[in-house]
Structure 1
């Protein structure tokens, strides 16, 4: 275990505690305010904790605390801030920020997937071009899949999550564009990781995941 991973292992209980208590506090606030929809959202955020644990158990992976920190930061920004604190409706363009972060997050998961299907699962400098194309393609495919799901949802419940009535195709296209931008931004840390051997917070989590859960199998 690297020093960075040891640090995040010690930090992780505090990060998880903050995440849980923050959402519980907002849940209680919404109970007092008699807003059942929002306190249900707040308390449902706690379901992500067993989901993350289940992810590791189903794949028979050892926990990677740097990766977990990244996952909970992502969930906090998109779910807690976006839905529970209503940033999507109160903060201009927060929805676009969320879709950009989705591109970043899915690209990161795509990089792990790349080594899951790579025959020798060895991290090599020559992987950079193919891994870059693969991760951007995965992010674009996920953005497309998400918009398809929203379209199907609109047909079923008639709530227009894509805001077609107000914006036509603009909202859908912008969501896909910013998601792709997020994936392209990830090529910067990828470049420094593969070409300059720079291991930061995100790439440290990736490297730890590959080394302890993929290369040893």
Structure 2
């Protein structure tokens, strides 16, 4: 059984300090364009309250904040010291974006406060036990009509992808990601109290943004 020690989801050191730049250079600018397109698919309303779990450098928060009005807000949750420092620096000019320094594996101090709970490329990096804790936190934090929105890997058979993709995935990703892409998340989330009702896919259908609501 895999444990959390094999995860690569917490970024530290040089990679944390230059995280956004490395992604931009490594993708030749395509990652930022992809993020903008994915966040546009979230259909953010101007008065939304958004909880960003694993908010990292604040890049996503800055992009989401463009859609908010004076009454909208974003709360980012981040435990990594270096990532949190990047978040505070990047979002310092936004009066409706806040940072909570806490692990989102622990119970969060929110109950039915948010219209959207967002996770971007962090969910795959946890054990199934910890993924369940994250989903439980999301359910408590969401309003009854709120949405869980996850931007991460899609479900796919790695052996069916081109050789260059297989090599890259095996080189970069942790063992938890290999487990993640084999899970039927529509069925798993039903067991955990959510229903996926909309999704968009990119990059040979290996990346996905899905929206889920609390089961009635």
Q: TM-score, normalised by structure 1?
A: 0.29
Give the structure with the higher percent helix.
1
Max radius of gyration: which structure? 1
Q: TM-score, normalised by structure 2?
A: 0.29
- Kindly indicate whether structure 1 or structure 2 has the higher relative contact order, using CA contacts under 8 Å at least 6 residues apart: 1
